[in-house]
Structures are given as structure tokens and as C-alpha cells.
Copies of this chain bind each other. A is one copy, B any other.
Amino acid sequence: MMLSQTEENYLKAIYSLAYANSNNVSTTLISEAIKTKASSVTDMIQKLAEKDLVHYKKYQGVSLTEIGQKIAVEIVRKHRLWEVFLLNKLDYNWDEVHELAEQLEHIKSETLIDKLEAFLEFPTHDPHGDPIPDKEGNIKHHNDTMLSSVETGKSCIVIGIKDSSDPFLKFLDKLQIQLGNTLKVISKEPFDNSMLVETTIGSISISNQISKNIFVKNL
């Protein structure tokens, strides 16, 4: 099945919205994600339903079919592998890779992404810490320990982030917090749930809004 970039983007959007919302995805939600009007979304999901990529009943929202889900995961796989390439090989920063990967994920080839994966030595996670689906579409989701729930005095390793927005990525860059870094929680402030954390560049105060968006592995 040969899909257009646009169709692929719709599937990808529905995939991540479904993951975040669990039930059927609404027209409006998709239109916001894809920055288009609701009426355009209706047109497109009817077309996708026609191709058996989504389940759709009028006014009831959509969900991905098995095939639709498979394709969406393939795109996610491509996106994340390209992100690794851009960061590890081309010296891009954490916050710069997303936009480019949005383009590269649509390159059509039977072999390219597997060769890229081998070249990158089979990374398991992308620069944001999100897992990279394997060739068969299997995904290993990491456990949901957030920095905010690490106990005082304990150390942990940064394995991912929840919020991938530009401002957040830029903020982490400034704090020099990167994947793999070890962080030690020195103290917590009950008043606002901020914490004092020892990082590679010294001790810094981190607000709860930040700490609850950083995935960590306890040591």
C-alpha cells in the first residue's frame, strides 16, 4: 500500500493521540494535532476508512485498524531512527532533530531504514528516551519512574523525557541534562515540590513541573 505523506501524517497523529487518550480519537483533536480544519479531517478519515486503515462511524471518532497501526508504528520507527542519526552522527542538538525527522520519516524505501538501523548499531531509544520499535513493530515501553518520585538521597539515571516540546528541550540543554546522566536528589522542598539535584555541572534546583517530566531509572 503506497500512502501519501499526508496520509502517513494522519495515521501517525491518530496513533499518538490514541496512545495518550485510550478511547476513540475525535475529529477536532486530530485537526489540532495536524494543524488543519476539522472538515478536512473528516474528508481524510473517510478516505482512510475506505482503505481499511481506520475504524470509523460517523460522529464517533476513529481508531486505527491493525494495518493502520502497523503502518503508524513503522513511521514512528523511521522517525526515531532518523533522530538518532541526526543527533549521534550529524551533531544536532536534542531540540533540533524533530522537525527534520518529520521530513525524513516519509522517505520511501524497502531497505533504507534497516540499513540505517544497522549503521547506528541498533539503538533501542531515540534522543528523547522514547523506545524505537523493531523491524516487526514491537515496542518496549520503559517503566514510568519520574525524577519527581525519586527519594531524597538516592541517585538515578536519566532515560527519557515525557514532554518533548521545544521550550522544554531547550531548558534541559541549558541545564546540561542529557540521556544517561546520573542525578542525585539532595533534598526536596515540600512547599512547592521542587528538589535540589546534583548534576554534572553542580547542584541545581528543579521545579516539580520539570521533575515530573523526566523519566529515570533508580540506582
Please give, as numbers and ranges, the residues of chain B lying within 8 Å of A91 by CB-CB distance. Answer: 115, 119
Q: Does A139 contact B (CB under 8 A)?
A: no
Question: For window 66-102 of chain A, which residues contact chain B by CB distance below 8 Å?
Answer: 89-92, 100
**Of B92, B100, B107, B115, which one neighbours A90 at CB under 8 angstroms?**
B115
In angstroms, how far is the closest chain B Cβ from the Cβ of A97? 10
Residues of A within 8 A of B (CB-CB), count: 15
State how many copies of this chain the complex holds: 2
Contact B116 A90 (CB under 8 A): yes
Q: Which residue of B lies closest to A99 (CB)?
A: B109
In angstroms, how far is the closest chain B Cβ from the Cβ of A42? 26
Contact A119 B90 (CB under 8 A): yes
A97-128 interface mask toward B, CB cutoff 8 Å, 1 = contact, 0 = none?
A: 00010011001110110011001000000000
Please give, as numbers and ranges, the residues of chain B lying within 8 Å of A108 by CB-CB distance. Answer: 103
* Complex CA distance for A78 and B108, rounded to whole angstroms: 17
- A residues bordering B, Cβ < 8 Å? 89-92, 100, 103-104, 107-109, 111-112, 115-116, 119
